[in-house]
Structure 1
Amino acid sequence: MSVDVVRLETVREPVGVRLSGRVRSVAVERRHWFGVGGLAVVAASVYVVFAYLHFRQGTFFGWDLGIFDQIVRDYAHFRAPDVSTKRHLSPTDSGVFALADHFSPILIVLAPMYWIDNSAFNLLFAQAVLFAAAVIPVWIYTRRKLGVPAAYCVAVAFLLYWPLQSALDFDFHEVAFAPLILATLIERVDAGRWRHAAIAAGALLLVKEDMGPVLLMVGIWIMIRGHRRIGAYFAAAGGATFAFLIWVVMPAVGGSSKRDWYYAQLGRSFGQVAVHLAEHPSLLVTEFIDPHVKLHTAFWLFVPVLFLCFRSWIFILAVPQILERAFSDNQFHWVQTYHYNAYLAAILVLAAVEGASRFKWPKVRLAWAVGVLAIGVGLLPFYPLWQLTSDSLWQRSSTVHVEEHLLSEVPEGSYVMMPWSADPYTGGHVRPVSLGCMGDAPEWMLTGNLKTDVAALNKALPADQNRLRYVAVATDGRWTIAKLAYPLDPRPQVPGPSTC
C-alpha cells in the first residue's frame, strides 16, 4: 500500500468519558456565570443602598437629578422632554427642549420605570444596576485574556473603581449607560462578533452627542487590528453622526452647535482652535498640565490599573474624552468629583487588561490582576462608597418629607422656584424653576428664607419686574411655600434661548 494513501486514525475517547467531560465543562461554565452574576447583583445592591440613603436624606446636588427626572418623566407620559429648571421666561414657557441641550434619546428606555413608581429614585436605581451590569462584559473579556482567577480580581477592582463611585455620588447622568455599552462594544469587537458590536455602537451614539468621536476611535482601533474595511465603517459612522448631531439635528430642534463650547481661550470654533494650536504648539502640552489638578486627576485615573492601559491600542478610545476635558475652560471637567470620569472607566480597565495580557509569564499577568484588586480595596476609604461606614449616612432627615408635603399644597402643574436640592422631589406634581434661569417671576416659591430669596429674585429679573412680593401660604419647620402677591398678572415674555 502506498504511503500516500495511508490514513492515521485519530485516537478517540470512549463515549462515556467524552460525555462526562462535557458535563463537567458545562457545570464549570455555569458556576462561573453564577459567580459573575452574583458579583453584579451584590455590587448593584451596594450601589442602590448607597444611592437610596443619599436620596432619603436629600443630600444629592439635585440640579442634574431634577433635570433628568423631568426628561424621563415627560417620556413616560408621552410628552416632549422639556426642562423648566433651565429656562422660565413666561408663565407658559415649558422650558428647554432636552434634545436641544444634549442628545441623549437612550433615556427613553427608562420611562417605563415611572409607570411603576412615581419617583426620581428610579433613575438612581437604574444607574446603580447599569454600572453593576458592566462587570459582566469586563469579566468575559478579562477571562479570555488573562484567565478565570484574574477575571474575578479585575471584575471586583472595576466595581470599586473610583470614577463609578464619583458618578454614583453625584446625581444621575446619561453616563449611566456608557460603561456597560463601551465594555460590551470592546468585548464584542475583540471576539470578532461584528453584528453585536454594531448594535452596541448604535446604542453608544444614543447616549450623548460626544460619543461620536469615541466611536470614530473604535473604528481606528479595529483598523489597527487588521480589519480595515469594518473599521472604516465604524469610524465613518462615528464621525458622520457627531457632525450631523452637532451641526444639523440639535440646531434644528432649538439648540446650538456651540451649546457646550468650553474652549473660548483657544477660539470660537473648531477651525479657530485648530489654527490657534498650530500657531502655538506649546499649548498641546501646557493645556494638559495647567492647572495641575488635571495631572492629579489623570494620575489617579491610571494608578488603579498600574498604568498598563498605555500598553494597548484600546486606550485611543479614551482620547476624545481626555482632550475634550483637558482643553476645556470649565473647571468641573478637570476634577475627580463629578461624573465625567465614568465615561473612561471601562475603556481604561479593558485597555489595561490587554496590556497585562502581553506579559509573557502567566504568573506576572495574575500578579497584575491581584495588584489591581489590592489597590482598589486600598483606595476605598478615600472615595464615596466609604460613606456607607458612616453612621450619619444611615440617619433619616425630615427635610425631604417637609419639601414633598409643602409642594403637594401647590396646584398641579404650577411653576415653583426652589433650591436645586429639592428638584428631585416634585413627583411631577409641579415644575421646578431655578433662580438665574428665568426672565419671569414664577407664581410659587419653596424657600428656607423668604426675604432673602425674594430679594435675590428681584435682583435677578429685569428692572421693570423687580418689585415682586410673595406671601407665605404654608410653613413647616424652616421651609415655607409662598405665593406671588404682586404683581398679580406678571407681563408674559416671549420664550428665547436658555438663560443657563
Structure 2
Amino acid sequence: MTGETLAAQTGASAALWRTRLSGHRVRVGALTLVSAVAYAVLGLVKLATFRATTFDMVIVDQAVRNYAAFRPPYIPVRGEFSDRGMNYVQLADHFSPIYALLSPFYWIHDGPETLIVAQAVLFAAAIPFLWRYTRRVLGVAPAYLVSLAYALSWPVAQAVAFDVHEAMFVPLLTAIMIERYHAGRTMPAFLAMLGLLLVKEDMGLMVAGVGLCLIVMGERGRGVLCVMLGAGGVLLARGLVTSVFGGDAKDYWAYGHLGDDLPGAILGIIRDPLAALLLPFSEEAKVDTLLLLAWPTLMLCLLSPLSLAAVPHVLERMLSDRSQWWQADFQYSAFTVIILFCAGVDGLARLLRRLKRSDAERRSSAGESEANECRSGRDHEHASLRLAWSAAACAVALTLVPRFSLDQLYHPAFYTEPKAAAAAEAASKVPSGVTVEAVNSVGPNLTSRTTVLLWTAKSHGAPWVVADTARWEFPFGSADEQLAAVGQLQADGYTKVFERDGYVVLRRD
C-alpha cells in the first residue's frame, strides 16, 4: 500500500468519523432541546395559572434579583416569615452562592420566568454528558436510550414541577464530574465537584460520598482528600458561614430523635446502632422512595461503587424526622438522579466483565476453534444485553411518567385553572413598587414588580394584602383561618378593594 493510498484512507476514515459525530451532536442536541422545552412548559404553565408557590419561587427570585442589582441576596419573604427582618440574606437560609450565576439573565428578563427557563436548561444540559459517558461504557444505542430515560425520569419531573430550587445545578455538575473523570480529565471533574459545594450547605456530603467511591475503586489518596474536603465543607457551611450571615444552624436540624446536634446524633447512633440501621426503612414512604431511586436502573446501580456518591445525601433524607424529605413528590431526588443512572451503566459494565472473566476461564480449557466460536457468540450476547438493559431502563422511565408530573403535559386540563382569572384580577389590583403580603399561590405572580411577603395569620403591617379565603393555603391550617385573619385586618383598619372567587385584596388606609 502506497503512502498516498494510506493517507487517503486515513482522511476518508476521519471524514466519516466527523460525519458520524456531527450526526450524534444533532440528535443529542435535539433531545436536550426538546427536554428543556418540556421542562420549561411545565413550570411556566404552573406559574401562569397561579400554581407556583411563594415558598420557594419568590425566595429564589428575590435573591437572584438582588444579585443582579449588585446587592446582597436579601430574601425579605423568608426573613419576615422567620421574624428576622427584611434584610435577611439567602446565604443565611441555605448556603447557595451559585444562584449568583443566574443574575445576568435577570438583565434580560427580570422575573421568575427566567428562573424556570434556566432550571429547565440546566436539567436538560446534563444529557450530553450522560450520553458521552454511556456511549464510552456501553455503546451508541444504549447511550441514546439511557439519555432518554434520564430525560423522562421521575426525579427530574418532580423537580421541574415544583417551583425552582438549587437542585437544578446538581445533575449537570455531577454529570460533568463523572464523565470527565472517566475520560481522564481530572481538572474539569474536580472543578465540577468544587462547584457542588456552592450549591447547598449539605453538598459536602455528596463530595464525601465521591471520596468513598474513589477509595473503594483503589484511588485512596484522592478519595481521602475528597472525604476531608466534603466533611470540612459541611462543617464550615453549617457551623460558621450560616451564622455569620445571620442564620441559625438549627433551622434545618431534622434529627432531634437522634440528638440535639451533630455530636449528640452521632452518640445516639452509637448507643443504638440497630435502630439507626433500621431507620431508613421505618416508614412505607421511605421504602417506596428508595425503591423508586434504584428501579430506573433495574437495581444495577447497586453493583457500582458510584452509588456511594449518592448514599450520604440519601441517608440525610431517610434519617430525618421531616416526612417531606422522604417523599418522592418534591425536588430532593433530583440531587442524586445522574449519579444513579451512571452507576447503573457502570453496574451493567461490571456485571458483563464478570461474565466475560467466567467465559475466559471456560475457554482456557477448550480447544482454539471452540474458544473462538464461544468468544464470538458471547460478544454478541453481551451486546444484546447492553441494548436490552438500556431499552428496559427507558421502558421503566416511560411506565413511571403517568405517576409523576410530566404526565400533566399531555392532559388539556393542565393548561387551565378555574380560578386563574380571578387570581390575575386580584394581582392586578396591587400597584407596582409596594410591599404586599400575598397568599402562597399569588406571590410568584407579583414578585417581579412588588416586594412580596407571605400572607400569614400574623400580620407584618404591609400596605397591601392578597388572601384566598376559598381554600387552604400554606401556612394556614384552613381556609376559615384566612377568613378570620381577613376579618381581623378589616377591624384593624384595612379596606377591602376586591373580592372574587375567594380572592380578597385589602389596602391599609
1:31-42 alignment to 2 at 5 Å?
Answer: 31-42=23-34
> Relative to structure 1, is the Cα distance of residues 263 and 12 closer, same or farther in structure 2, using a 3 angstrom cutoff?
farther
What SS does the corresponding residue of 1:111 show, helix, strand or coil? helix
Distance 1:317 1:326 in 2: 16
Matched positions, count: 469
| CA deviation string 1:376-410 (max 9, x = no partner) | 11222221111112111223632453243122x26
1:471 partnered with 2:495: yes
CA contact (8 A) 1:88 1:437 kept: no
| CA deviation string 1:133-187 (max 9, x = no partner) | 1111111110011000100010000111100001111111010001110111111
- Give the drift of 1:25: 1.1
1:135 partnered with 2:127: yes
1:220 partnered with 2:212: yes
Distance 2:117 2:456 in 1: 30
Distance 2:459 2:465 in 1: 15
CA contact (8 A) 2:427 2:466 kept: no
Provide the residue aligned with 1:88 in structure 2. 80
What SS does the corresponding residue of 1:94 show, helix, strand or coil? coil
User: Is the helix fraction higher in 1 or 2?
Assistant: 2
1:447 partnered with 2:439: no
| Structural RMSD (CA) | 2.6
Provide the residue aligned with 1:422 in structure 2. 442
Give the fraction of aligned pairs with identical amino acids, expressed as a percent. Answer: 31
CA contact (8 A) 1:447 1:453 kept: yes
CA contact (8 A) 1:469 1:484 kept: yes
Distance 2:88 2:214 in 1: 38
One-letter amino acid of the structure 1 residue matched with residue 450 of structure 2: V
Distance 2:166 2:84 in 1: 28
What SS does the corresponding residue of 1:116 show, helix, strand or coil? coil
What SS does the corresponding residue of 2:249 show, helix, strand or coil? coil
CA contact (8 A) 1:403 1:425 kept: no
Distance 1:303 1:253 in 2: 41
1:182 partnered with 2:158: no
What SS does the corresponding residue of 1:341 show, helix, strand or coil? helix
| CA deviation string 1:54-78 (max 9, x = no partner) | 2211112332111111111111122
- Give the drift of 1:222: 2.3
Which segment is superposed worse, 167-176 or 272-281? Answer: 272-281
- Give the drift of 1:15: 1.5
1:359-398 alignment to 2 at 5 Å?
Answer: 359=352, 360=356, 361-395=382-416, 397-398=420-421
Q: State the TM-score, normalized to the length of structure 1.
A: 0.88
- Give the drift of 1:438: 5.5
Provide the residue aligned with 2:485 in structure 1. 456
> Relative to structure 1, is the Cα distance of residues 26 and 457 closer, same or farther in structure 2, using a 3 angstrom cutoff?
same
- Give the drift of 1:118: 2.3
Provide the residue aligned with 1:111 in structure 2. 103
Unaligned runs of 5+ in 2: 357-381, 471-479
Distance 1:228 1:41 in 2: 39
Distance 1:152 1:85 in 2: 43
- Give the drift of 1:476: 6.2
Match of 1:264 among 243, 256, 268: 256
Provide the residue aligned with 1:346 in structure 2. 338
1:1-400 alignment to 2 at 5 Å?
Answer: 14-88=6-80, 93-358=85-350, 359=352, 360=356, 361-395=382-416, 397-400=420-423
Distance 2:215 2:278 in 1: 31
What SS does the corresponding residue of 2:164 show, helix, strand or coil? coil
One-letter amino acid of the structure 1 residue matched with residue 251 of structure 2: R
One-letter amino acid of the structure 2 residue matched with residue 422 of structure 1: V
What SS does the corresponding residue of 2:505 show, helix, strand or coil? strand
CA contact (8 A) 1:402 1:479 kept: no
| CA deviation string 1:307-361 (max 9, x = no partner) | 0010000001111111111111101011111110111110111000100112142
CA contact (8 A) 1:57 1:399 kept: no
CA contact (8 A) 2:426 2:503 kept: yes
CA contact (8 A) 1:216 1:236 kept: yes
| CA deviation string 1:94-125 (max 9, x = no partner) | 15311001000111111122211122111111
Distance 1:17 1:184 in 2: 35
What SS does the corresponding residue of 1:209 show, helix, strand or coil? coil
What SS does the corresponding residue of 2:321 show, helix, strand or coil? coil
Match of 1:432 among 441, 452, 460: 452
One-letter amino acid of the structure 2 residue matched with residue 151 of structure 1: A
Distance 1:90 1:210 in 2: 21
CA contact (8 A) 2:167 2:331 kept: yes
Distance 1:437 1:183 in 2: 44
| CA deviation string 1:355-382 (max 9, x = no partner) | 0112142221221111101111122222
Distance 2:113 2:47 in 1: 7
Distance 1:129 1:310 in 2: 29
Provide the residue aligned with 1:484 in structure 2. 508
CA contact (8 A) 1:154 1:372 kept: yes
One-letter amino acid of the structure 2 residue matched with residue 293 of structure 1: A
Between 1 and 2, higher relative CO (CA 8 Å, sep ≥ 6) is seen in 1
Match of 1:404 among 408, 424, 427: 427
CA contact (8 A) 1:454 1:469 kept: no
- Give the drift of 1:436: 4.5
Q: State the TM-score, normalized to the length of structure 2.
A: 0.86
One-letter amino acid of the structure 1 residue matched with residue 59 of structure 2: I
